[in-house]
Amino acid sequence: MVEAGSPATVAEQDPRVERSRRVILEAVLEELGAVGYGALTIEAVAARAGVGKSTIYRHWRGKLELVEDAFRTLKAPVVVPEGGDLREKVVSMLEQIACLVEQSTYSTCMPALIEASERDPEVRDFHRRFSAERRAVLVDLLRDAVESGELPAGSDPDLLADALVGTIFLRRLMLHEPLDPAAVPELVDQLLPSPRKRAAARGLRTVRP
């Protein structure tokens, strides 16, 4: 436990420290997108952020820890709407993802992180954990819909989540043509069971003994 008034507490409460930390993390993603993980250096990040290397090493042990903190801190969260039916919630989530993939700094970093994960086991471990955490939000939503009867009982939440999100990433990474967020409702309608099928699934579940 950190005691009140300790250096750690003061640092956490000092807005100048937080601003400096954010500038460094933004520089990490910019540098990663520009040169890739293999060529990324602490020296280059420090130069881009306008700080000394000692400032970076004071808070992060090395390159991977710095990259992980940058992704976790700066990547926008995907928020599940509180209201609406399943389709509305899925459309909202995928529109957020499509916007993120289309026009964010994170989008320019994706190829670098994927390439590094093929070569570096530690980067691969982080990439898998980070991706699984993000993917779990949609999977949990779909699993709840199966359990409530809003999706047919035979639906596979994991496979359906991969199909829904996979289209967005395939367009960006393989075709270099990000999916227009305006096309998300059509994508969802192609892949989610129709309202009639969902209603039938709920009816069947209701009459079961």
pLDDT digits (tens, 9 = 90+) for 20-73: 999 999 999 999 999 999 999 999 999 999 999 999 999 999 999 999 999 999
Nearby residues of 130 by Cβ (< 8 Å), 6 or more positions away:
68, 71, 72
Quick one: pLDDT at residue 203?
A: 59
CATH topology of domain 76-207: Tetracycline Repressor; domain 2 (1.10.357)
Q: 112, 37 in Cβ contact below 8 A?
A: yes
Our CA dihedral for 191, 197, 203, 204, rounded to 10 degrees, sits at -80
Q: What is the mean pLDDT of residues 162-181?
A: 94
Calculated CA dihedral for residues 94, 168, 78, 83, nearest 10 degrees:
10
Residue 205 zone, left/alpha/beta (φ > 0; ψ -120 to 50; rest) = alpha
What pLDDT digit, counting tens, does each position of 105-132 carry?
888 899 999 999 999 999 999 999 999 9
Give yes or no for a contact between 178 and 102, defined as CB atoms under 8 angstroms apart: yes
For residue 19, the Cα-to-chain-centroid distance in whole angstroms is 23
Dist. CA 33–CA 27, nearest whole Å: 10
> What's the CATH number for 7-73?
1.10.357.10
Nearest to 188 by CA among 142, 133, 137, 154: 142
Is the confidence at residue 205, as pLDDT, over 60? no
- Both tokens assigned to 70: 């940058």
* 155 torsion bin: left (phi>0), alpha (psi -120 to 50), beta (else): beta
**What residues does CATH 1.10.357.10 cover in the chain?**
7-73, 76-207
Q: Work out the average pLDDT over 136-165.
A: 95
- Quote the tokens at residue 151: 């999706």
Rounded CA separation 129/147 (Å): 26
